Structure 1
Amino acid sequence: MRFVIVLLIGLFVGAACSLIGLSALRKETPPSTALMAMLRFHSAGLDQAVRSNRCAATDLTPHLQTLRHLANDLEPAFGETEDDELFAKHASAFRAALDAALATPPTDCASAGVALDRVSAGCKDCHRDFKG
């Protein structure tokens, strides 16, 4: 009798754990959502650095480099869009703004603000056309 009770409890716990595991696998974060979260995080880091008057290249370059690396994954993360050519154009412009900012890293808050505005414009242009 004890064996049957332990067996039933084991089956119940196993079934519950299986359901929990399957549910967790189903709730995976889409790559596009994760990518946007990271882009938002590093853009906010740049914005915070400028607002805090921490505009040395050593403060800004790590965020710019990370944004540039993340920008390489824009097209694969979003897969096929309704207008792939326009999306690719926006992604390319975003990467170009980041490349320009990295080619001549900002040395003061004025130049950092200009670079940040160019990068933000790339985000806003794409969001205007695709996010709605």
Structure 2
Amino acid sequence: MRYLVCLVVGAVIGGLFAMTLANALQRRNAWPRALMNVMQHELGDARNAAKGGTCPSPVLQRASEHLRLLAGDLEPALLATGSRDRVLSQYMRDFGKVVTAWEPGADCLRQAEALTTITNACEACHRDYR
């Protein structure tokens, strides 16, 4: 009976320790995940607005501003301080160029083309780094 109690107590303490460790490891990547979720949300809103046929719209302008702002945060979010990854940095520069070239005041056809280019820039990086 004593061994059974020790086994149960040990399993409970081990489970609590494992959950604490898993939560700590999950929080380590919170900023990059949050950044990607916000970018995905803004790109989805922009796509919906462009498909809705209301170009230009305030939604497209807001999404453009947010994506330009977030493009500057990619490198600090994804790379550790002082580290360098030539390929990832190139993907981030390409994304920044594509987002900067996007004109949210253009007609819907040009909006769709720009959003497809932005999506392709995202997918190019995700093929190698997801």
TM-score (norm 1): 0.71
Q: Secondary structure at the match of 1:36?
A: helix
**How many pairs are equivalent?**
106
1:58 Cα deviation (Å)?
Answer: 3.1
Q: Is the 8 A contact 2:50 2:111 kept in 1?
A: yes
- Unmatched 5+ stretches in structure 1: 1-22
1:31-110 equivalence runs, <5 A? 31-80=31-80, 84-101=85-102, 104-110=103-109
- Please tell me the residue identity of whatever aligns with 2:32: S
- Please tell me the residue identity of whatever aligns with 1:89: Q
* Structure 1 outlier segments of 4+, above 4 Å: none
- Unmatched 5+ stretches in structure 2: 1-19
1:83 Cα deviation (Å)?
Answer: 7.3
Post-superposition CA distance 1:17-60 (Å, at most 9, x none) = xxxxxx6x846461111101101110111111012112215331
Name the CA distance, whole Å, in 1 between partners of 2:45 and 2:54: 11
Name the CA distance, whole Å, in 2 between partners of 1:105 and 1:46: 9
Name the CA distance, whole Å, in 2 between partners of 1:76 and 1:54: 35
Post-superposition CA distance 1:47-75 (Å, at most 9, x none) = 11012112215331110110110111111
Name the CA distance, whole Å, in 2 between partners of 1:110 and 1:128: 27
Name the residue aligned to 2:118.
119
1:107 Cα deviation (Å)?
Answer: 2.1
Which structure: larger Rg? 1
TM-score (norm 2): 0.72
